[in-house]
Structure 1
Amino acid sequence: MASINLEQVMDKLKQRAMDYAETKSRIDPPFESTCEWLRENSTYKQWIDQPFDRLFVVADPGIGKSVLAKSVIDEFQKVQETEDIFVCYYFFEKSVAYRKNLSMALCALIHQVVMEHGDSTSNLLSDLSQSIHLIGDGVLEQPIRLWNVFRKVSESTGKQIICVLDALNNCEDLIELLELLASDAWTSEKIKVKFFLTSRLTGALAWFINHPDKPSEYRVIDANDEGNKEKIREEIKGFLRKRVSGHANMQLYNIASPNEISTLVNDLHQNGKATTYLWADLILKDLSSPRNRRLLSSKLLRRVRAFPSSLNSVYAKMLSEVGRPEVTRSLLLIALAARRALTWSETGWLSLASKNGFIVPLAAF
């Protein structure tokens, strides 16, 4: 096998990491005056002040964890030139096979650090280059080896490295990632790397962060804590108000006055309904649908009061409103159980077959 130069190593890292920047670009930026609950959190402020720390932000679906992660990345990227810091990141995605793999995430982190710091870090890839030369590209599928490379290149920058990893619950190698985070490889005074980690509170993660012997460098912010939950609810209320109150939006929602806006937002917010951004977004989309645009504001408010109070009940309502819910349910189950993603034509064929009463064996997919 021919020797591998550093440029080729970087190309291999990039190919393995896929387009990590594209994933970030697809996430909406935070809406005005949102994510402030995190900035005000004392645990977050303590994390900022430490050169090495692991901060876990755990939250239920729909709270905006990925938007929160993006806001942290953007916040530090704005000052990384003047404050001698560098931000690297990765967004795990459950729905995309190659974006839930730990080795791919580590390739992305290494690629970002080396691309930014060039000569000061590239010489540290020589061992990786030699390993690829001797063993092959399979080296880039070994998390422990890649973790050590990331640690070394981070140390060589001499900067404070901030590593943002979003949606750990989507990582198929979560336990291995947690073990690496728990290792003492980051305790050297020369290494200044701190981690901002978001996740749902899965079983493995719950055990990990609640373990009595966990290091003191572990900090946890739970969005479900009563104080955080109330602040998030207030931010969602402001989000709803601003989304509805623009002149164009007032016409879109068939609302004529600020008083009606206030009534609409309060009705959306009452009884603990507006507890997630995902719920609020689904409701606003429903309100602005052509069917609802024709409603007078009084009828619109009656519809608001009848809205389901949780995401699960919203989804159940959506399913109940399709023409043949049993067909839709069958199609969803088939798509979920299929061994690979279905093509558009296969989906159309499935729909046609189901409508005509044919039984489609899962083994066909």
Structure 2
Amino acid sequence: MTSRSLEIDSAVSGTCEWLLQHDTFRKWTELNQELLWIKGKPGSGKSTLLNFAFTNQKHFLSARYSDLVISFFFHGRGGDLQRTPLGFFRSLLHQILKQIPYCLSDLVITFEKRCKEIGECVEKWQWHPKELWFSLKSSLLRILETRSVWIFVDALDECGEGSAKDLVHKFELLFKQSVALSACSNQLRICFSCRHYPILSSPGLAEICLEKENRADIHTYVHSESSSSREPISDTVLDSIIERASGVFLWAQLVVKRIQNLTINGAGPNQIIAAVDSIPEDLESLYNQLIRGMGPASVKLIQWIYFARRPLSVKELRWAMAIDVGYSSLQACQSAVDYVPDDKRMRQRILSLSQGLAEITSGSNTPIVQFIHQSVKDFFIDKGLLALPANFVSIHAAIGMSHLYLFQTCIRYLAMKEVEKLAIGTKNPDQMVTEFPFLSYATTSWVSHMKQSEDHDTPAEQFLELFSWPSNVLINLWTEVYRGIDEHSSDCPSGNTSLVHVVARYGIQGVMNAILQRLGQVTVEADLKDGSGRTPLSLAAEEGHTIIVEILLAIGQADINSKDRYCRTPLLWAVRNGHEAVVKLLLATGQDIDSKDKYGQTPL
């Protein structure tokens, strides 16, 4: 949740300092103004500036006062907790808990009680955003009784327009509630940074437009880069970069890197000037220019960076790109001409294949690969995918084919001879992941890629062929590997799981239809129980997959009153999780509404 702030480039010496003297910023810090917006074009340096403001205020206020200063940096290229309100609430509460723990005593009691009664958080239960917001709001109001609060939030737009507007609305209401505490001098102040669009703020609020203020900073940056280069860049070229950047730091950064590469390759002054003049002035056109020279390997890299469920490490990505349809063993993959033998060379290959649009972060214990900026990710989903040499006919098709490729890679990895021979019981999870770096991702992610690919119209037959269905050998291996890696995960399948169980649980409709069509009159597998006594109907009912339930009921042979090891029927699972549409379907079949589970509970 907090790694994003570590990834942000530190401000170059002599930059960002203008903010402290800016009239709007000073009024926000000194007067009773509650909300400050820092807005700017993509790549204008908003994150660096907000991080500078947060660090400066935290240092200043910690030294002189007892004010609470907390922050969150949304990260559209990161994991779920880095780009959702849930992660935002959890991070702020964690910071409060570390600094003023007594304000969250009720939350701690709730946490300890649930862990004792239900089990470990995440594995057995999850916080709901509403209850975390209530705790955050209550704790902030309590803190304001004794001290001021400063909250810095970066890249608000990267949590999605709907979520961003909802958060702004929540804090506007919180400001009104805090007015009751205005008898004292304590204030709640929030600084948001975001792009100009979507429009998230009301007119007339305190606002700093970054591209109108950062020309001097760009000047300082490009001259600093020039002075540290092997061959200094001419003033004529530097002045051209500063002028054409139009307040976009990222554009200047990419152009300076290109010039440095040209200089290393022996380009003369006239060639460099011509190269700079040929570079488009907007980021989108520049990205288009950069991807023109990409080949098939670059396409694979872009697909992995964009569509992976989470950012991959260099080692994971090295293996992901090594898996090929023609190989049945990892040893064969390592013998391929294009196999990259170590992470150091993979780092170089990532930078080369991405044309500078990807980076390896250094802000966490395990460096990960991501796009250099959110605008790169936006570019690819808007139109950039269609510009890649991959024959995508539409963005919709590109998404489906990309998830299909990732799904196929995961399944092929699991089917490799070395994985098949893996003695699960003889190794602990850490040993397994060390020996097989891509094993964890492949095991936990193939279902998600299959579902998303099918949602984008990939024919179901392609999935069945890869499993050699009706064989469940690969599913059995996957189940065993998953239980060896993380048997306590709520997503870990039970023993005796079949492909029908998987597609029922995750609502993969096309594959379910294809399976039942192939089965014809042989519908035994459609009612098979897994190791927990769960049938496909039971799993679909629990998750609320109405169409899957309809499909299974339509075959006429599903046991609607089948009980699992807890004596729970499909109806009880649907009621337990509040799936009204599924409940109605099951009641229409005449399911027993008085059936009791192991604990004496009935659907009623």
The normalised TM-score by structure 1 is 0.73
Alpha-carbon distance, 1:292 to partner:
5.6
| Partner Cα distance (1:112, 1:167) in 2 | 19
- 2:206 corresponds, among 209, 219, 226, to 219
> 270, 291, 295: which is aligned to 1:319?
291
Q: Which residue of 2 aligns with 1:165?
A: 153
Instruction: Find out whether 1:77 has 2:58 as its counterpart.
Output: yes
Q: Higher relative contact order by CA 8 Å / sep ≥ 6: 1 or 2?
A: 1
Cα distance in 2 between the residues matched to 1:291 and 1:345: 42
Which segment is superposed worse, 107-116 or 97-106? Answer: 97-106
Amino acid paired to 1:179: H
The question of whether the paired residues in 2 share the 8 Å contact of 1:132 and 1:139 is answered with no
Provide the rounded CA distance (Å) in 2 between the counterparts of 1:104 and 1:24: 14
**Is 1:196 equivalent to 2:191 in the alignment?**
yes
Deviation at 1:329, TM superposition (A): 7.2
Q: TM-score, normalised by structure 2?
A: 0.46
* Paired-residue identity, %: 17
Query: Is 1:266 matched with 2:242?
Result: no
CA contact 2:8–2:48 (8 Å) conserved in 1: yes
Q: What amino acid maps onto 2:147 in structure 1?
A: K
1:31-64, CA deviations, whole angstroms, 9 ceiling, x for partnerless residues?
1222234323211111111466111111110011
Matching residue of 1:182: 172
The corresponding residue for 2:257 is 285
Task: Work out whether 1:105 is the aligned partner of 2:92.
Answer: no
What residue in structure 2 maps to residue 64 of structure 1?
Answer: 45
Match of 2:20 in 1: 39
Question: 2: CA distance between counterparts of 1:326 and 1:339?
Answer: 12
* Alpha-carbon separation, structure 2, partners of 1:344 and 1:33: 48
Q: Name the Cα RMSD after superposition.
A: 3.5
2:214 matched to 1:232? yes
Matches of 1:331 and 1:86 in 2, distance apart? 52
1:321 CA displacement = 3.1
1:116, 1:341 → 2: CA distance? 46
Conservation of the 8 A alpha-carbon contact between 1:56 and 1:220: yes
SS at match of 2:207: strand
Matching residue within 202, 209, 218 for 2:202: 209
Distance in 2 between residues matched to 1:341 and 1:268, nearest whole Å: 41
Unaligned runs of 5+ in 1: 1-18, 213-217, 350-359
State how far apart, in whole Å, the 2-side matches of 1:76 and 1:340 are. 44
How far does residue 332 in structure 1 lie from its aligned partner after superposition?
Answer: 10
**1:7 corresponding residue in structure 2:** none
Letter in 2 for 1:169: D
Structure 1 residue 341: deviation in Å?
Answer: 10
1:234–1:287 Cα change, 3 Å = same
Paired AA for residue 236 in structure 1: I
User: Does residue 270 of structure 2 align to residue 298 of structure 1?
Assistant: yes
- Give the SS at the match of 1:197: strand
